[in-house]
Amino acid sequence: MYIPRKVLTNRDLEALVDTDDAWIQTRTGIRERHIAADNETASTMGIEAGRRALAVAALAPEEIELVIAATSTTEHIFPSCASLAQHGLGARNAAAFDVNAACSGFVHALVIGGQFVTTGAYKKVLIIGTEVYSRILDWHDRSTCVLFGDGAGAVVLEARKGSPGPFSFVLGSDGARADLIYAPGVCGAPNVTSVNGQHWLHMNGREVYKFAVKTVCDAVLQAVAAAGLRIEDIDFFIPHQANDRIIKAVARNLGLPDDKVFSNVDRYGNTSSASIPIALCEAVEQGRLKDGDNLAMVGFGSGLSWGAVVMRWAPRLNDE
């Protein structure tokens, strides 16, 4: 993972908009978030996260055959963030493309990468989730600017010998509710400019909240069943880090105890498609996600879109 250095606390936000630390903490669980420096972008942060993931996997960049970047805030419409990362990392044998499914982008990218690995088309795939929502927020809108933060995370998927663990997924979209959370694009949308903030993010928080709690539970249960497991078989659960109240409600509805559920939204806010790989990285570093665990992850957000995946967390290949 790569997290920009600058921290923006709830107290800092009190000076920007009519809000207070107690409201933000009670409604969201967020205490602080990180904000990219002027010279940082989705691709620069993604490259750094990718570099660290390759180091953890003990792989040379030339061994990677595909780079997928999940992002909705990259600096260009084209070239893709993944192409910039492929070059920045020196992954000169890799193909590269982006996936944009907003906050569920990482799960979509993971599922796509998983298809290449399970078919044997590619053996080593780098998946990056990277976002700079600070650049599309209206810093005068208290209902959205307190919620998001910047950051990046990355994982390497590798084919392995032996019996595969479960790898099931559920992806979904309800484009009829596209208006609940959107950010107009300055390049493609008619008459939209960044000068007067027309590109800022808009969200109906209450409706997205209701969608999140219901759809996330259904998607996780479907993915667990598709893996031939029961919810009790899930050892660890990493939901998209949007709001601690959503995380707790989902865990309660699924009947998952607190010690199986990961949350770090208090320190990073909602980093969109970077939230799950950042959480995954911290869960491993903290020893909470263990080798052999059945892992469930779920993302949800603009589209509306959602994605749940169930897989076994296996030891690194060089540890075997």
Choice from 270, 271, 273, 294 touching ligand UT7 (CB under 6 A):
270
Residue 240 catalytic? yes
The one segment of 17-25, 92-100, 183-191, 310-318 that binds ligand UT7 by CB under 6 A = 17-25
Task: Please give the DSSP secondary-structure letter assigned to residue 240.
Answer: -
Task: Answer yes or no whether residue 142 interacts with ligand UT7 by CB under 6 A.
Answer: yes
Strand duo 95-99 + 150-158: pairing: unpaired
Task: Determine which one of 10, 100, 264, 270 is catalytic.
Answer: 270
Contact 177, 300 (CB under 8 A): no
Interacting span for ligand UT7 (CB under 6 A) from 40-48, 62-70, 200-208, 260-268: 200-208
Nearest residue to ligand UT7 by CB is 205
Q: How far is CA 116 from the centre of its chain?
A: 20
Establish if 28 lies at the interface with ligand UT7 (CB under 6 A): yes
79 touches ligand UT7 by CB under 6 A = no
- Give me the catalytic one of 103, 145, 217, 281: 103
What's the closest the beta carbon of residue 76 comes to ligand UT7, in angstroms?
23
* Residue (73 or 294) nearer to ligand UT7, CB: 73
Told to check if 27 binds ligand UT7 by CB under 6 A, we report: yes
| Shorter beta-carbon distance to ligand UT7: residue 209 or 313 | 209
Cis peptide, bond prior to residue 79, ω within 30 of zero: yes
Question: 257 is written with which tokens?
Answer: 């105890």
| Angle CA 114–120–121, to nearest 5 | 85
Is 103 annotated as catalytic? yes
Region binding ligand UT7 by CB under 6 A among candidate stretches 46-54, 63-71, 207-215, 289-297: 207-215
Nearest-angstrom CA–CA distance, 98 and 216: 24
- Identify the residue among 11, 140, 206, 214 touching ligand UT7 (CB under 6 A): 206
Task: Calculate the CA dihedral of residues 36, 40, 44, 45 and round it to 10 degrees.
Answer: -10
Question: What DSSP string describes 251-307?
Answer: HHHHT--GGGB---HHHH-B-GGGHHHHHHHHHHHTT-S-TT-EEEEEEEETTTEEE
Residue numbers 227-246 binding ligand UT7 by CB under 6 A: 242-243
User: What token pair was written down for 59?
Assistant: 């792989």
Q: How far apart are the C-alpha atoms of 102 and 303, rounded to whole Å?
A: 7
Does residue 87 carry a catalytic annotation? no
Catalytic residue IDs: 103, 240, 270
Binding residues vs ligand UT7 (CB under 6 A): 19, 23-24, 27-28, 103, 142-143, 146, 181, 205-206, 208-209, 212, 242-243, 270, 301
